[in-house]
Amino acid sequence: MFYLPTDDSVETIDREQLTGLEFVHDDVLAQDPDQQKRRRADAERAVLLTNTNHTKTTIFFRTADGHTKRVRAMVLTAHANYLTLKGDINLPLRAVLGLES
């Protein structure tokens, strides 16, 4: 289970709203290689769950203005640099703090 280490409230948005957001340029997990590996494994697991069970995943991410948000969506593919969500919407992996299935 993913634990978000913040006391701030986290806004939940619809996946369609992702197209209008700007994301951080540097990896939000740059200081923690273990968390980067976990994020990659969780992304691959989310793709597997979407393809086998049509399960949505909760994705926590950070925008360019520093806000943390979450979106519930089906993760269709996990590329090296981004996730493709249902509706052909891409989310940069560098902005993802964690995933929760």
- Give the whole-angstrom CA distance, residue 17 versus residue 49: 23
pTM value is: 0.92
Give the chain's end-to-end CA distance (angstroms, integer): 8
Res 101: pLDDT: 84
Res 38: pLDDT: 96
- Give the whole-angstrom CA distance, residue 26 versus residue 34: 17
**Residues across the chain:** 101
Report mean pLDDT in 10-residue bins for the chain, 101 residues: 66 96 96 96 97 95 95 97 97 97 84
Domain boundaries, the chain: 12-100
Res 76: pLDDT: 97
Per CATH, which fold does 12-100 belong to?
SH3 type barrels. (2.30.30)
Res 95: pLDDT: 98
Res 9: pLDDT: 81
